[in-house]
Amino acid sequence: MQSGTIRAGFGGWTFEPWEGSFYPADLPKKKQLEFAARQVSTIEVNGTYYRGQTPETFAKWAAEAPDGFVFALKGNRFVTNKKVLASAGDSMAKFFAQGIEELGAKLGPIVWQFAPTKRFEPDDFEGFLKLLPETHAGLVLRHVLEVRHASFVDPAFVALARRHGAAICYAHHFDYPEIADVTAGFVYARLQRGDDDVPTAYPPAELEAWARRARLWAEGGVPDDLPLADPDAKVEKRPRDVFVYVIHEGKIRAPHGAIALQRLADG
């Protein structure tokens, strides 16, 4: 059976509590990305949400990561925090002008994160989706919509995302809505209920369940035990790449959870 690639990772690589718990105690900080990128196959970069980077920075990240590794980038907050999303064109242009093409084949999905107060307004949200470029500097782009307001649990939102080929981020979160509808040629999930008292963030049985779901997504299926905003929609069954990130409040055990999840998903 054909299947897409499953990548499990975590958020960022600079985090002091990981020194000695994930990173070797004597590892220099400048070697942390190089080390982390060889333990997992993807990392979600949060820093691009808060500030712009430089082409030199993206080139450095690409050089320090091995072939086959990909960075998921958070889109800048000045794009998604607009009161009128359809007016975000200039801010979006600045985001794409900062040099992300230096990542080359290591550029993964771009995640557009919206505030928990941002409600679903169909016309304005479609205006935003129309701004999203399909390519940049010769690279095909993959866009993710990370929404955090319950009003997005709406078949109309699912239809819009599917029409524009954007993935809805599935968030396993205590507060945000869970929307597991598959709307793109790939799947993006954030597992955010981890516990630092658990060595692998999620208990082994729960990680095994997530690995099964990841394999099902990769084969083109849709898990029957996750909430859908539009359960009646027909989803084309085709192989899909799957990106799953273990990202929780304390996040001390996130790397261990991602490594364990990857092993289980790979079977």
Tell me whether residue 165 is in a domain.
yes
Residue 109 has a pLDDT of 98
Threshold 0.95, pTM exceeds = yes
- Cβ atoms of 243 and 189 within 8 Å: the answer is yes
Tell me whether residue 129 is in a domain.
yes
Whole-angstrom distance, CA of residue 115 vs CA of residue 42: 24
Whole-angstrom distance, CA of residue 98 vs CA of residue 206: 39
Whole-angstrom distance, CA of residue 196 vs CA of residue 43: 19
Tell me whether residue 124 is in a domain.
yes
Residue 178 has a pLDDT of 98
Tell me whether residue 1 is in a domain.
no
Whole-angstrom distance, CA of residue 217 vs CA of residue 239: 8
Tell me whether residue 81 is in a domain.
yes
Residue 248 has a pLDDT of 84
The domain of 196 spans 6-266
Residue 242 has a pLDDT of 98
| Overall number of domains in the chain | 1
Residue 124 has a pLDDT of 96
Residue 267 has a pLDDT of 86
Whole-angstrom distance, CA of residue 69 vs CA of residue 45: 13
Residue 13 has a pLDDT of 97
For residue 184, the one-letter residue type is A
Q: What is the CATH number of the domain that holds 206?
A: 3.20.20.410
Whole-angstrom distance, CA of residue 141 vs CA of residue 130: 14
pLDDT less than 70: residues of the chain: none
58-66 LR contacts (CB < 8 Å, sep 24+): 58/98, 58/99, 58/100, 58/101, 58/102, 58/103, 59/99, 59/102, 61/33, 61/103, 61/106, 62/102, 62/103, 62/104, 62/106, 64/33, 64/34, 64/37, 65/33, 65/34, 65/37, 65/106, 66/37, 66/38
Residue 234 has a pLDDT of 92
